[in-house]
């Protein structure tokens, strides 16, 4: 058992990534009930969505005090800077065990979060993000490598998970002992959990693998495609953020399945930025028709380890057993 698992009374050192619009109340509560940290994907801070999904999670586990202690929410920091109504609603109406901030400076929101009693979790993408997160008061650091699904640092500014985890672990041991470290990016089974622990992490955060569950809010057809695609099938770029009119800071981009529309534009990003209208119309028609050769599926390199769509509790149970087995194998 790691300190991180003890802190949140977890049965396995695993956190659900707060995936915007995908990690809703059903998935977060199922993870919390199964003994993992369940974070609702507050994402861009839509008040109505966050309030509905967080309330659903609370309703699902209101009779289970241990699970309530494993429930929290995540937000995108640069978006909170524009509108923090969802964070304010959450703190005023609930007692989340943890609130996670990613993608931007966490310090403007940290005091509100710490005063609420929630543990602050900060996701980082390079070593230079780490002192800021500690200064903000983070109890948990998520070191995200560029293998990760969804948003993360660009290939140029980000790091690979395997070398990033131990470097962050060493920095924390020297400068901020007592802070917990989670590895994220490309971890999708017990072998990955065991590897992260061996590299010095106190646990892991999984997005892609838990996206591919029955409770995730993504469309069933998208989940089917994910179960059939191998690990060569994704790419990072700004293509889908431009097509979706998301105004992301340039140090971040988005890993998704490399579909036809991505291939068409991935080597012409400047052209797409300068004249996006035609491509946007194409994308929006794809979205209306659920045509996944055009609309995005945000997912990481671990897609190659995902071959089925299970319920979250069964999956978490399997991951726990696989982790024990992998650790025994290494130990033996």
Ligand X SMILES: Cc1cc2nc3c(=O)[nH]c(=O)nc-3n(C[C@H](O)[C@H](O)[C@H](O)COP(=O)(O)O)c2cc1C
Q: Which of 67, 113, 141, 148 binds ligand X (CB under 6 A)?
A: 148
Among 25, 41, 69, 233, binds ligand X (CB under 6 A): 41
Residue (18 or 96) nearer to ligand X, CB: 18
Terminal Cα-to-Cα distance of the chain (whole angstroms): 19
Token pair for residue 94? 């609930």
Pairwise CA distance, residues 332 & 315, whole Å: 25
Polymer length of the chain: 332
CA distance 145 to 208: 13
Pattern of binders to ligand X over 157-186, x per CB under 6 A? Answer: ---------------------------xxx
- Contact, 203 vs 121, CB < 8 A? no
Q: Cβ(235)–Cβ(242) under 8 Å?
A: no
CB nearer to ligand X: pick between 61 and 299: 299
Cβ closer to ligand X: 18 or 72?
18
The verdict on 76 binding ligand X (CB under 6 A) reads yes
CB under 8 Å to 116, separation ≥6 — which residues? 91, 95, 96, 99
Q: 288: alpha, beta or left, given left = phi > 0 and alpha = psi -120 to 50?
A: alpha
Nearer to ligand X, 31 or 184 (CB): 184
Min. distance of Cβ 271 from ligand X in angstroms? 26
> Shortest gap between Cβ of 221 and ligand X (angstroms)?
15
213 interacts with ligand X by CB under 6 A: no
| CA gap 292, 246 in Å, rounded | 19
Q: Residue with the closest Cβ to ligand X?
A: 207
How many positions of this chain bind ligand X (CB under 6 A)?
Answer: 30
Q: Please report whether residue 19 would count as binding ligand X according to CB under 6 A.
A: yes
**Can you give the binding site for ligand X, defined by CB under 6 A?**
17-20, 22, 41, 43, 74, 76, 102, 123, 144, 147-151, 184-187, 205-208, 211, 298-300, 302
């Amino acid at each position: 058992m790691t300190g991180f698992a003890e802190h949140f009374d977890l049965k396995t050192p695993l956190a659900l990534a707060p995936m915007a619009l995908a990690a809703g109340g059903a998935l977060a509560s199922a993870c919390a009930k199964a003994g993992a940290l369940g974070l609702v994907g507050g994402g861009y801070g839509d008040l109505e969505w966050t309030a509905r999904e967080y309330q659903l999670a609370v309703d699902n586990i209101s009779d289970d005090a241990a699970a309530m202690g494993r429930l929290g929410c995540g937000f995108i920091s640069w978006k909170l800077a524009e509108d923090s109504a969802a964070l304010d609603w959450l703190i005023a109406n609930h007692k989340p065990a943890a609130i996670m901030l990613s993608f931007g400076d966490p310090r403007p929101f940290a005091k509100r979060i710490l005063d609420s009693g929630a543990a602050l979790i900060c996701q980082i993408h390079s070593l230079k993000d780490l002192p800021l997160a500690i200064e903000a008061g983070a109890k948990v650091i998520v070191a995200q490598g560029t293998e990760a699904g969804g948003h993360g640092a660009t290939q140029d500014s980000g790091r690979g998970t395997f070398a990033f985890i131990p470097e962050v672990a060493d920095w924390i041991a020297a400068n901020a002992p007592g802070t917990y470290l989670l590895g994220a990016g490309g971890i999708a089974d017990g072998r990955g959990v065991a590897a992260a622990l061996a590299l010095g992490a106190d646990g892991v955060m999984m997005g892609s693998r838990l996206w591919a569950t029955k409770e995730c809010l993504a469309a069933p057809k998208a989940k089917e495609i994910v179960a059939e695609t191998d690990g060569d099938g994704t790419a990072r770029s700004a293509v889908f953020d431009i097509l979706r009119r998301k105004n992301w800071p340039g140090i971040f981009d988005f890993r998704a399945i490399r579909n036809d529309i991505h291939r068409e534009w991935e080597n012409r990003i400047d052209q797409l930025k300068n004249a996006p209208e035609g491509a946007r119309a194409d994308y929006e028609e794809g979205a209306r028709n659920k045509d996944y050769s055009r609309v995005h599926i945000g997912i990481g390199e671990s897609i190659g380890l995902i071959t089925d769509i299970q319920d979250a509790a069964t999956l978490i149970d399997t991951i726990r057993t696989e982790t024990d087995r992998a650790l025994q194998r290494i130990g033996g």
